């Protein structure tokens, strides 16, 4: 009896890791809280999934241009799935693999079903790669001569290509790349993680966001309203860009 009472007063001690991480005084096990009310208690806003309280922020802000992303000789389905899922989430226009290992397609690990939302091309060799006209190929690789991602001017139309889990982008593919970019890290990242970082950096660089406040104590500046440019006057015969 005594020990039961003690466990009510100190649920965190008695119930181990399944205690909600709010504070010691309000902490109750998830199962106990949901059993009483049929839903997670209002006092625990932090652990309620955002989608239960409001719609998740919709599409990424529309950016000018487009991008695709893919990987060479990728061999793990979990990595391909992760990359496709991030591509879908960040608004890629297409995705691709070059010389992928069959094992990469063995298991479906992209829960967003990216291939039902965007075209995914599977090219067997570098020679088979077909990009839209005007689309630059940007290699993502740890190379001394690569440009640092934070200072990289993302081309408006481009395809990013990552290397395999073991190894690096092939010499053939590097020769095909217009530019190569490196993420400043101490050692190599997982290929799907590297892809997500590149796409996030593109979104930050090309998307329209309010600037960051200059310090944590200053208010965030508002996003300036979009101003429609004047119509361009072209001389007769001049090509449109
Ligand atoms: C796991 S890494 C390959 C292993 C790596 N070559 C090594 O020896 O540790 C897979 C791919 O992710 C990309 N990658 C990982 N970290 C990167 C970084 N810091 N900068 C640029 N690309 C990176 C590259 O495309 C790379 O080929």
Residues 6+ apart with CB under 8 A from 192: 78, 79, 80, 81, 82, 83, 86
Mutation pick for ligand 1 pocket among 163, 164, 188, 200 (CB with most ligand atoms within 8 Å): 188
39 C-alpha to center of ligand 1: Å? Answer: 44
- DSSP string computed for 215-239: STTSPPPPPPPP-PPPPPP--TTPP
* Run means of pLDDT, 10 residues per run, the chain, 241 residues: 40 38 41 52 54 58 86 95 94 96 82 86 97 98 97 97 97 98 98 98 90 84 79 73 53
Per this entry, what is the length of the chain?
Answer: 241
What's the confidence (pLDDT) of residue 3?
Answer: 41
Mutation pick for ligand 1 pocket among 98, 142, 171, 184 (CB with most ligand atoms within 8 Å): 142
What's the confidence (pLDDT) of residue 9?
Answer: 38
**100 half-sphere exposure, CB direction, 13 A CA radius:** 24
Burial of 82 (0-12, 13-18, 19+ CB in 10 A): buried
CA-proximal residue: ligand 1, atom 9 (nearest): 188
Q: In this structure, are residues 234 and 202 in contact, taking their beta carbons and an 8 Å threshold? A: no
92 lines ligand 1 (CB under 6 A): no
CA–CA separation, 225 and 222 (whole Å):
9
Domain chopping of the chain, boundaries: 66-206
Superfamily holding 66-206? SPOUT methyltransferase, trefoil knot domain (3.40.1280.10)
The reported pTM is: 0.75
Cα 175 from chain centroid?
Answer: 27
2 C-alpha to center of ligand 1: Å? Answer: 58
């Amino acid at each position: 009896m005594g020990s039961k009472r003690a466990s009510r007063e100190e649920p965190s001690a008695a119930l181990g890791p399944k205690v909600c991480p709010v504070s010691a005084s309000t902490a109750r096990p998830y199962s106990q809280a949901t059993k009483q009310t049929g839903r997670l208690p209002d006092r625990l806003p932090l652990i309620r999934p955002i989608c239960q309280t409001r719609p998740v922020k919709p599409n990424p802000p529309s950016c000018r241009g487009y991008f695709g992303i893919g990987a060479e000789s990728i061999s793990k389905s979990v990595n391909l799935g992760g990359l496709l899922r991030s591509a879908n989430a960040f608004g890629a226009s297409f995705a691709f693999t070059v010389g992928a290992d069959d094992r990469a397609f063995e298991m479906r690990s992209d829960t967003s079903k990216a291939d039902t939302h965007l075209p995914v091309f599977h090219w067997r060799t570098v020679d088979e790669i077909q990009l839209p006209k005007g689309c630059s190929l940007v290699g993502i690789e740890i190379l001394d001569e690569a440009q640092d991602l934070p200072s990289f001017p993302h081309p408006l139309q481009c395809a990013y290509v990552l290397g395999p889990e073991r190894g690096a982008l092939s010499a053939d593919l590097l020769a095909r790349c217009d530019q190569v970019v490196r993420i400043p890290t101490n050692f190599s990242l997982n290929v799907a993680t590297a892809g997500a970082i590149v796409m996030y950096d593109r979104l930050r660089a090309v998307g329209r966001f309010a600037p960051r406040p200059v310090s944590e104590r200053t208010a965030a500046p508002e996003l300036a309203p979009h101003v429609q440019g004047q119509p361009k006057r072209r001389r007769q015969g001049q090509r449109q860009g």
